[in-house]
C-alpha cells in the first residue's frame, strides 16, 4: 500500500472541560482536565494510521518531555517518523483547548517547534515523498513551507490535499491552482472566498469560486450536517449522522485522515467522503482529539450501528 504523506503540525492538547469561559479578571473552577496528543497534522496522520493506512509524517517536535510523548505516540501508531526532527532549545507545539457543555470548543495554539519546519526539511524528505499516493497539508506551520510543499507535490505529480486550518484569508491563487483537494469548514471557506457561508447553498456558491481558481475538488465539512462536494465530478452532499456529541475537538481532522486513507486506496471520492463523515461523527462521541478516534474495528462497529 502506498503511503500518505502528512506534512504539518503536532501539538500537545491541554483540554479543559468548562461550564463557561471566565470573564476578564475572574477565576473560575473547571470540572475536568485531560492532556492528549493533538495538532491538526498529527491528528490527520493518526486517523489514517488507526484505520490501517501507511503514513509518513514530516514535522518538528521541541526539546522537552512533550516531544518524547509525541514520538512515542507516532511509533505506537506505526507512523513513519524518519522525518520527525527535534528542534534544540525550542518548546513543542501546545494547544490549550476549552470544551463547553454543548461539546463545542475554543482552541489556542502555540506553534513552538512547528514554526521551524522549513522548505529545506521538505526537500530532505523528497525521496520518501516520491513514493506517496497523497500529500496532506494544513496551516499550522509557516505558510512559506506549505507553499513549498504544494510546489514539490505538484512537480512530483503527487495529489495534494490542503486543509486551510486555522483559517487565513488570501491564500496565493498560484498555489490554490496546484491543489487537487481543498477541504475547508464553513468559516474557512467564508474567509477564503470572501463570501458569507451560512447554508449548504451558500457553501456551494463559495466553493464554486474556489474551483474557478483552479482547485479540482472542493470538499466542505459541514459539522453535524455532513459534507459537500463541489468539483470536477459534479456536486453532492453526504448527510451527517445523528449522534450525542461530547467533544467536537479534532472532528475535522478525523474527517480528513479517514478521507485520505480511503481515497488513497481506490480514488473513489464519494465513498471516501461517506466513510469520513461517519468517522468524524464517531469521533465527537468521545473526549479529546486523537483519543476519540476509533481504530478500524471500532469504526466498523460504529458504522454498522449507524448504517454508514
What are the residues binding ligand RIB (CB under 6 A)? 11, 13, 38-40, 43, 95, 107, 109, 140, 249-250, 252-253, 289
Nearer to ligand RIB, 249 or 275 (CB): 249
Q: How far is CA 193 from CA 107, 126, 218, 226, 271, in A?
A: 23, 32, 12, 20, 27
Answer yes or no: are the C-beta atoms of 97 and 73 closer than 8 Å.
Answer: no
Nearer to ligand RIB, 6 or 158 (CB): 6
Q: Which residue is nearest to ligand RIB (CB)?
A: 38
Which DSSP letter does residue 203 get? H
**Whole-number minimum distance, CB 113 to ligand RIB, in Å?**
13
Among this protein's residues, is 247 annotated catalytic?
A: no
Distance, CA of 286 to chain centre: 17
**Whole-number minimum distance, CB 37 to ligand RIB, in Å?**
8
Nearest to 145 by CA among 173, 130, 170, 125: 125
Nearest to 254 by CA among 228, 221, 231, 302: 221
**Whole-number minimum distance, CB 267 to ligand RIB, in Å?**
26
Answer yes or no: are the C-beta atoms of 106 and 133 closer than 8 Å.
Answer: no
**Whole-number minimum distance, CB 108 to ligand RIB, in Å?**
9
Phi/psi at 238 (nearest 5 deg)? -100, 125
Cis peptide before 56 (omega within 30 of 0): no
* Residue corresponding to grid cell 529545506: 120
**Whole-number minimum distance, CB 232 to ligand RIB, in Å?**
28
- Find the radius of gyration of the CA atoms of the chain: 18
**Whole-number minimum distance, CB 263 to ligand RIB, in Å?**
20
**Which of 301-308's residues contact partners 24+ apart within 8 Å by CB, and which partners?**
302/278, 303/275, 303/278, 306/241, 306/243, 306/278, 306/281, 306/282, 308/241, 308/274, 308/275, 308/277, 308/278, 308/281
Nearer to ligand RIB, 117 or 152 (CB): 117
Nearer to ligand RIB, 11 or 158 (CB): 11
Catalytic site residue from 121, 198, 253, 266: 253
- Just list the catalytic residues: 253
Amino acid at each position: 500500500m502506498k503511503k500518505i504523506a502528512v506534512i504539518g503540525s503536532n501539538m500537545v492538547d491541554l483540554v479543559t472541560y468548562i461550564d463557561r469561559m471566565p470573564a476578564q479578571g475572574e477565576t473560575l473552577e473547571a470540572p475536568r482536565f485531560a492532556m492528549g496528543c493533538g495538532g491538526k497534522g498529527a491528528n490527520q496522520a493518526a486517523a489514517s494510521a488507526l484505520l490501517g493506512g501507511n503514513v509518513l509524517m514530516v514535522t518538528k517536535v521541541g526539546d522537552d518531555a512533550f516531544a518524547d510523548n509525541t514520538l512515542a505516540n507516532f511509533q505506537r501508531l506505526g507512523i513513519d517518523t524518519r522525518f520527525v526532527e527535534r528542534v534544540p532549545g525550542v518548546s513543542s507545539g501546545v494547544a490549550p483547548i476549552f470544551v463547553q457543555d454543548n461539546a463545542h470548543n475554543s482552541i489556542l495554539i502555540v506553534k513552538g517547534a512547528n514554526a521551524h519546519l522549513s522548505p529545506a526539511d521538505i526537500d530532505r524528505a523528497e525521496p520518501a515523498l516520491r513514493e506517496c499516493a497523497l500529500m496532506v497539508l494544513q496551516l499550522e506551520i509557516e505558510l512559506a513551507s506549505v507553499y513549498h510543499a504544494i510546489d514539490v507535490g505538484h512537480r512530483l505529480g503527487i495529489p495534494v490535499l490542503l486543509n486551510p486550518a486555522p483559517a487565513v484569508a488570501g491564500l496565493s491563487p498560484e498555489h490554490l491552482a496546484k491543489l487537487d483537494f481543498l477541504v475547508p469548514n464553513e468559516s474557512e471557506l467564508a474567509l477564503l472566498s470572501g463570501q458569507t457561508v451560512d447554508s449548504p447553498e451558500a457553501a456551494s456558491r463559495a466553493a464554486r469560486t474556489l474551483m474557478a481558481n483552479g482547485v479540482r475538488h472542493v470538499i466542505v465539512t459541514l459539522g453535524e450536517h455532513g459534507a459537500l462536494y463541489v468539483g470536477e465530478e459534479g456536486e453532492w452532499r453526504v448527510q451527517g449522522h445523528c449522534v450525542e456529541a461530547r467533544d467536537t475537538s479534532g472532528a475535522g481532522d478525523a474527517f480528513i485522515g479517514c478521507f485520505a486513507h480511503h481515497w488513497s486506496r481506490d480514488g473513489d471520492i464519494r465513498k471516501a467522503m461517506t466513510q469520513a463523515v461517519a468517522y468524524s461523527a464517531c469521533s465527537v462521541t468521545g473526549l479529546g482529539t486523537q483519543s476519540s478516534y476509533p481504530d478500524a474495528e471500532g469504526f466498523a462497529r460504529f458504522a454498522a450501528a449507524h448504517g454508514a
